[in-house]
């Protein structure tokens, strides 16, 4: 499972292989961590479309998702999985991206329903975004209109298996190719589009800053980015006060 | 009782000038009316004939006749019947008067029609954006808005020739009819 590395002589640097730590014990530890991670998943079900109706049966007594170690969670900060359950309109997509960026890493995205794959039966609609993976990295798609709870559970099990094997790391892709994702977002939302999350700094923090993190689109973002400020509180509703 | 009321209503409507009344069934009446007479008709229906509930205002785009058709559906709880008042306005510039002062819920429907068809209602309390708050294209329900062209310009579709599919096809499975062959628009292109 793990291989012992020749002890380097003085002055030599330790050889580092990608994805594996040089300490033999760390590998064992990593595997344990991944196993533990795959057995304790908290999912945020952002109920975007009609496919969301299959989730209550998947969660409750008949199919009982909790026996797999998966639990619903109400806030993005505490969730590992973002379930996008159905068509995402352009307006909703903005909120989905905001939610996704708020989640702590590692994070996984599951696109449920044909609508997230390719627009589904809304392929011709001006309001529905096709192809969710243009805007954020998707780990698993569960196709169907709508997929049965069995399919949802099969998809989740596949994700668990991927996590255990260390294959579910598409979240890293968001940092490494941020320019690509931002480009698609800007195409839809206009060039002034921005989120409160500083993805580029986060990429540096996680050590995932790649050659495609920055690019023409992030340059555009920098031009338009406004510094974050607290929201102003207003209680004045002119229509109401005028009528009184 | 109900029968008496509907007879009474028929008499009332037949007295009015310049409108065409068609009784579709015992509970449904279609009235075609000139745009300048519509507010008066609604006033009458609401004030004297107990049609107090405006269920909906719908809009139809008759692009060939260059007209919008506005349909006001009003309901009476007492008679249990629905009157649909149809009127046609010019598509250009597409301006009409609001019936907000007669039926308050009209504000909601008028705002919606303004957003979806671009009809402007004079005197409506609020004509600002409602559902499509982040939309900057033309009113999408107009017949001359080409939804598919807009989609093709703004979105990409999934590739239906991926590698994993060739593997499945080698085993005898795969996609029976590819979506791009199935689309109506594509069928027309291939046929002509
Ligand atoms: S795939 Fe079907 S069930 Fe799912 S969101 Fe689309 S229309 Fe609804």
In the predicted model, what is the mean pLDDT of residues A21-39? Answer: 83
Digit-by-digit pLDDT tens for chain B (192 residues) are 456 667 777 777 777 777 888 888 888 989 999 998 899 899 988 888 889 999 999 999 999 999 999 999 999 998 888 999 999 999 988 899 999 999 999 999 999 999 999 999 999 998 888 888 888 888 999 998 988 888 888 888 877 677 777 887 888 877 777 766 766 555 454 444
Which position has the higher pLDDT, A19 or B164? B164
User: Which atom of ligand 1 lies closest to the CA of A114?
Assistant: 1
Model pLDDT, residue A244: 59
Model pLDDT, residue B67: 93
Which position has the higher pLDDT, A200 or A233? A200
* A28 Cα to chain B: minimum distance (Å): 32
- Whole-number Å distance, alpha carbon A49 to ligand 1 midpoint, is 7
User: Confidence class of residue A2 from pLDDT cuts 50, 70 and 90?
Assistant: very low
How far is residue A208's CA from residue A210's CA, in Å, rounded to a whole number?
A: 6
**Rounded percentage of chain A residues whose pLDDT exceeds 90:** 26
In the predicted model, what is the mean pLDDT of residues A128-155? Answer: 90
Residue A1 has pLDDT above 50, yes or no: no
Q: Ligand 1 pocket: which of A121, A128, A145, A147 to mutate (most atoms <8 Å of CB)? A: A145
Q: Which residue is closest in CA terms to ligand 1's atom 8?
A: A50
Give residue-wise pLDDT tens across range A160-216: 999 998 888 889 999 999 999 999 999 988 888 888 888 998 898 888 888 888 989
Winning range, highest mean pLDDT, from A60-74, A217-231, B104-118 = B104-118
Q: What does DSSP say about strands B67-76 and B81-90: parallel, antiparallel, or unpaired?
A: antiparallel
User: Confidence class of residue A21 from pLDDT cuts 50, 70 and 90?
Assistant: low
Computed over every residue of chain A, the mean pLDDT equals: 85
User: Confidence class of residue A3 from pLDDT cuts 50, 70 and 90?
Assistant: very low
* SS3 label, residue B89: strand
How far is residue A175's CA from residue A153's CA, in Å, rounded to a whole number?
A: 28
pTM value is 0.80
Residue B21 has φ and ψ, to the nearest 5°, of -110, 130
Kindly give the interhelix angle for A216-224 and A178-189, rounded to the nearest 10 degrees.
Answer: 60
Q: Establish if B65 touches chain A: CB-CB under 8 angstroms.
A: no
User: Which atom of ligand 1 lies closest to the CA of A86?
Assistant: 5
Q: What is the ipTM of this complex?
A: 0.75
Contacts of B152 (CB under 8 A, 6+ apart): none
Pocket of ligand 1 (CB under 6 A): A 49-51, 86-87, 113-115, 120-121, 145-146
How far is residue A170's CA from residue A163's CA, in Å, rounded to a whole number?
A: 11
The angle at the Cα of A189, spanning B185 to B141, to the nearest 5 degrees, equals 45
Model pLDDT, residue A14: 56
How far is residue A161's CA from residue A184's CA, in Å, rounded to a whole number?
A: 30
* SS3 label, residue A221: helix
């Amino acid at each position: 499972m793990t291989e012992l590395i020749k002890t380097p002589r003085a002055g030599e640097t330790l050889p580092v292989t990608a994805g594996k730590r040089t300490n033999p014990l760390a590998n064992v530890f990593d595997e344990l961590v991944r196993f533990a991670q795959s057995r304790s998943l908290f999912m945020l079900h952002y109920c975007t479309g009609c496919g969301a109706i299959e989730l209550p049966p998947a969660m409750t007594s008949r199919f009982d998702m909790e026996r797999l170690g998966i639990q619903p969670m109400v806030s993005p900060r505490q969730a590992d999985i973002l379930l996008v359950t159905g068509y995402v309109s352009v307006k909703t997509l903005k909120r989905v991206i905001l939610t996704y960026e708020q989640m702590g890493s590692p994070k996984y995205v599951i696109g449920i329903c044909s609508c997230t794959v390719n627009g589904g039966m809304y392929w011709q609609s001006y309001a529905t975004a096709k192809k969710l993976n243009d805007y954020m990295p998707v780990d698993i798609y569960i196709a169907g209109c709508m997929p049965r709870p069995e399919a949802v559970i099969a998809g989740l099990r596949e994700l668990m298996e991927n996590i255990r094997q260390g294959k579910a790391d598409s979240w890293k892709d968001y940092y490494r190719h941020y320019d690509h994702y931002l480009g698609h977002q800007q195409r839809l939302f206009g060039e002034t589009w921005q989120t409160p999350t500083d993805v580029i700094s986060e990429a540096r923090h996680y050590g995932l800053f790649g050659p495609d993190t920055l690019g023409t689109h992030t340059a555009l973002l920098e031009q338009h980015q406004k510094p974050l400020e607290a929201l102003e509180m207003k209680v004045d509703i002119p229509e109401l006060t005028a009528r009184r | 009782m109900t029968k008496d009321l509907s007879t009474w209503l028929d008499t009332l409507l037949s007295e009015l000038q310049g409108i065409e009344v068609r009784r579709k069934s015992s509970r449904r009446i279609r009235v075609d009316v000139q745009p300048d007479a519509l507010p008066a008709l609604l006033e009458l229906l609401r004030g004297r004939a107990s049609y107090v509930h405006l269920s909906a205002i719908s809009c139809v785009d008759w692009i060939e006749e260059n007209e919008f058709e506005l349909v006001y559906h009003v309901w009476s709880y007492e008679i249990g019947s629905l009157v649909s008042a149809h009127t046609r306005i010019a598509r250009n510039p597409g301006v009409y008067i609001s019936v907000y002062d007669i039926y308050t819920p009209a504000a909601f429907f008028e705002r919606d029609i303004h957003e979806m068809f671009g009809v402007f209602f004079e005197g409506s309390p609020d004509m600002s954006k409602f559902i499509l708050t982040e939309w900057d294209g033309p009113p999408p329900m107009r017949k001359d808005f080409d939804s598919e062209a807009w989609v093709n310009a703004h979105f990409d579709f999934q590739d239906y020739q991926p590698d994993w599919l060739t593997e499945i096809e080698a085993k005898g499975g795969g996609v029976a009819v590819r979506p791009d062959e199935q689309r109506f628009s594509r069928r027309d292109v291939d046929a002509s």
